[in-house]
Chains A and B, each alone.
Chain A
């Protein structure tokens, strides 16, 4: 039963990782940028939610759309001020510029909010600890179920948006061939700016997830980025449902690691990530040989 409970916890944790990783995966799929500032943007969104809830006294359901709007505007600005310029300089420069941005953001947050540990849980009633008991040993947290539902809604909604709306189709066409969309009358830079706005707006949902399930400080971004990045790599860069699968596999690996040893959580997650990474980097013939050696 402990095993089942740990696997279930892994699934829920993975859904939370997917909430954060969806944006990373989407931005990579469209702009071919690995946004190293994403973890810090998630923490920024968590602080904005905290401001709205704590200082302005807004209930979280009202604070969230506000934060989404602010983050979307920030995404537009980020594209025009940082991403577009660094993209012109080659594929490595966006990696450097978003890394720099992460450092700037982390320290700005520290200057503004100090080193205090915050959480959004106090503004959400009993959501953080309420649960349904399935039986004596097993119960499901309300927040966990909500996170899983949110991950499905976010990734499914994104998928539907990309497939069935005009802007979605335009984003896919631009991702496929940015030069040719210009030849059919589309300004690729405007499309990129909207895609960035969408990706950064998604950080608001990640920030809500972070603030509700855990505590955060101005320097929490790097850990969030690391787990999200691992989820995306495990699931396959640019694939949206793969991101959810990757997040869940990572969450399960971490929880099973914790079951084996109290210190097992992080090593199991990183180890699993490295295994998948090596498998992905291996040339195909080597993979085939491995598979043949493993099968009798």
Chain B
């Protein structure tokens, strides 16, 4: 359903992603791992349409969407939960969700169902989003993305800066959504957690794919080597 073809992207002179290609089947959960600065966030932003790649193409459901802006991709079923949550400050929890409702596709996710799924949000409906705890803000950011009823959900560092209990809560809400029709790309620092929920894992190092394989029974040592590039650094210079 998603095909990323030789994508290179970055900011100005900085190239963060170098010629990355991969395919994703419907219903698959992909864990995207790698060190800080490996290009994970940039790759997600290119797929979501938040930035244009220098070169390469993104195909979604058989169409080339490379030139489509983010808001058009949402209508086709791609939703990104951005790094750092980015809830709308000054708007209440209810307003954060209402502003997102009815923008994407219609489907099972409605305001009422999201409040059932995230009871911690229902209790805080009238609170301003910036007053929520990190875990609650993350739940809000995920709920806001789900309102578009995406078929491809991109999750960028959903556990970053959260307490272990809050991370557990976020994953408890996410896990039932995985393994169904929803296709997910998950960027996660915590390798164990990523491998625990994903079908497949791709490791990025300095913008290039250094490892790809099934998540189940993945060789931790091999992934760690791809993660830190110890194979690469062993090469004589």
A pairs with B: yes
Query: Which of A169, A184, A188 sits near B91, CB closer than 8 Å?
Result: A169
Tell whether A184 pairs with B75 under 8 Å between CB atoms, given A166-B98, A169-B95: no
Q: Which residues of A contact B144 (CB under 8 A)?
A: 184
A172 at the interface (CB under 8 A from B): yes
Are A187 and B71 touching (Cβ within 8 A)? yes
Tell whether A183 pairs with B70 under 8 Å between CB atoms, given A172-B88, A172-B90: yes
Size class of the B contact interface (CB-based, 8 Å): 20 to 34
Query: Which of A172, A177, A179, A185 sits near B100, CB closer than 8 Å?
Result: A185
A186 at the interface (CB under 8 A from B): yes
Are B98 and A185 touching (Cβ within 8 A)? no
CB contacts under 8 Å to A, within B59-97, are 69-71, 74-75, 79-80, 82, 86, 88-91, 95-96
A160 at the interface (CB under 8 A from B): no
A182 at the interface (CB under 8 A from B): yes
Tell whether A186 pairs with B91 under 8 Å between CB atoms, given A169-B98, A180-B86: no
A162 to chain B: closest CB distance in Å? Answer: 10
Q: Which residues of A contact B82 (CB under 8 A)?
A: 179-180, 183
Q: Which residues of B contact A184 (CB under 8 A)?
A: 71, 74, 79, 99-100, 103-104, 144-145, 147-148
CA distance A172 to B130 in the complex (A): 14
B167 at the interface (CB under 8 A from A): no
Are A172 and B91 touching (Cβ within 8 A)? yes
CA distance A181 to B144 in the complex (A): 10
Q: Which residues of A contact B98 (CB under 8 A)?
A: 166, 169
Residue of A173, A181, A183, A188 ringed by the most chain B CB atoms within 10 A = A183
Q: Can you identify 13 A-B contacts, CB atoms within 8 angstroms?
A: A166-B98, A169-B91, A172-B91, A173-B91, A176-B88, A182-B50, A183-B80, A184-B99, A184-B104, A184-B144, A185-B71, A185-B103, A185-B104
